Amino acid sequence: MTMRTSPVIGRQAGKNGSDSSMRKVLMIGAAVVFAAGAAWAGAHGSMSDQRVEDMKTIGGAMKAIGDGEGDAVAHAKTVNMLAKGLHAKFPEGSMEYRAKAEIWSDPEGFKKSMDEMVAASENLVDAAMTGDRSKTLAALGATGKTCKSCHETYRGPKPGE
């Protein structure tokens, strides 16, 4: 059997090139692991960015309803639509920004808080659709209470506080 020195790893490889094939498999495996890790980290970072953006949009829509600006029904529907998708934007381990560990150590409590917000925002849509400002403001207050309750338990301080 003729032996040759492998330039990559400084070992002798057999004539059939099995070390070269093994190197390719290892390199591909390492690339896949790296790409999966980068995708996981990127998904969590972008998920955090998405939920922060959604929270800001919810806050802006609620403020507009309270201030009597724009279409209250459209704003209420925005709040409700974003509330429905918010729970999914807290995947395990995505503790960036202000998310507290209690989100994942108390998943039932966190889901209950999210469900309460969805229910309150559905009531907000219903109230806004009546055109009765006092009903809309009452439903807005109830929705705001669900936000406050969840934030007290599951949101940490702003960076630097």
Q: Quote the domain boundaries for residue 66.
A: 49-154
How many CA atoms within 13 Å lie on the side-chain side of 137?
Answer: 7
Q: What is the mean pLDDT of residues 67-84?
A: 97
Residue 24 inside a domain? The answer is no
CA dihedral 138, 141, 143, 149 (to 10 degrees): -140
Is residue 82 a part of any domain in this protein?
A: yes
**pLDDT (mean) for 38-42:** 45
Question: Does 19 reside within a domain?
Answer: no
| Poorest-pLDDT segment among 35-49, 70-84, 132-146 | 35-49
Residue 3 lies in a domain: no
Would the pLDDT of 102 be above 60? yes
Whether the model pTM is above 0.85: no
Confidence of residue 43 (pLDDT cuts 50, 70, 90): very low
Residue 87 lies in a domain: yes
- What gap in Å lies between CA 107 and CA 113, rounded to an integer? 10
Task: Classify residue 36: in a domain, yes or no.
Answer: no
Report yes or no on 101 lying in a domain. Answer: yes
CATH number at residue 70: 1.20.120.10
Output the six-digit token pair for 52: 């922060």
Position 25 in a domain: no
Count of the separate structural domains present in the chain: 1
